[in-house]
Chain A
Amino acid sequence: AQSVAQPEDQVNVAEGNPLTVKCTYSVSGNPYLFWYVQYPNRGLQFLLKYITGDNLVKGSYGFEAEFNKSQTSFHLKKPSALVSDSALYFCAVRDGGTGGFKTIFGAGTRLFVKA
């Protein structure tokens, strides 16, 4: 069974500073990894994914994530945070090895970017 952990409930960062939102995962097969963002009273929006290939994945709005197989991590990063990045971020994992469709979401990390 797959699982995903987001160890921080909240991340605070000043505008212009780099940000990192952490995610670790567990799957029995090959991990398909995703990041989504949720703004207040909205649905989740897809940011980026890792399926295979380059460990550094670039996505929407200047976000990127690094897949680290040995640490089973997929941290979300951005070099320079914007106030408008403040939102709820979800990491998600699917077990690509089993060919299943079930995607499990982490508990979410709330990002606050202060001006």
Chain B
Amino acid sequence: DTAVSQTPKYLVTQMGNDKSIKCEQNLGHDTMYWYKQDSKKFLKIMFSYNNKELIINETVPNRFSPKSPDKAHLNLHINSLELGDSAVYFCASSREGGSGYTFGSGTRLTVV
């Protein structure tokens, strides 16, 4: 199936831990994104990579570090997790220009 796939779907972890979320797309898109959706469903862009190059780096704590080993993958590593990091994290991809995004199904991160 052509899609944007994220793993894991659910992640429950303790404060202070380090965790990673992986994202892969097989759509041949050039650009990938990470968005954070909070408990009020507000979506905020975090990062974007275009052909493995970081092009958007919003005001995000430096505990969050994206990595794009190739244009089909964009991973998100989070150090020293805090309670406020609890949210749903969405990966998305798009072609260049005015195309819409294809979203993954999200990773629900709960920090306890």
> Which residues on A are within 8 Å of B, measured CB to CB?
32, 34, 36, 38, 41-46, 49, 51, 88, 90, 94, 96, 101-105, 107-108
Contact = CB atoms under 8 A, between A and B. Distances in A.
B12 interface: no
B48 A102 contact: yes
Contacts of B41: 38, 88, 107-108
Interface of B: 4, 31, 35, 40-43, 45, 48, 50, 55-56, 90, 92, 94, 98-106
Contact of B106 (A43, A49, A88): A43
Contact of B103 (A43, A102, A104): A43
Contacts of A49: 98-100
Nearest to B50: A101
B94 to A, nearest CB: 8
A32 B35 CA distance: 19
A43 B48 contact: no
B102 A46 contact: yes
Given A101-B48, A101-B56, A43 B43 contact: no
Contacts of A44: 43, 90, 92, 101, 103
Nearest to B58: A102
Which DSSP category, helix, strand, loop or mixed, fits chain A's interface?
A: strand
B42 A108 contact: yes
Nearest to B43: A105
Interchain residue pairs A-B with the least CB separation, the first 4 = A43-B103, A46-B100, A51-B98, A105-B43
A32 B31 CA distance: 17
A43 B98 contact: no
A36 B101 CA distance: 9
Residue with the highest number of chain B CB atoms closer than 10 Å, among A46, A49, A101: A101
B76 to A, nearest CB: 15
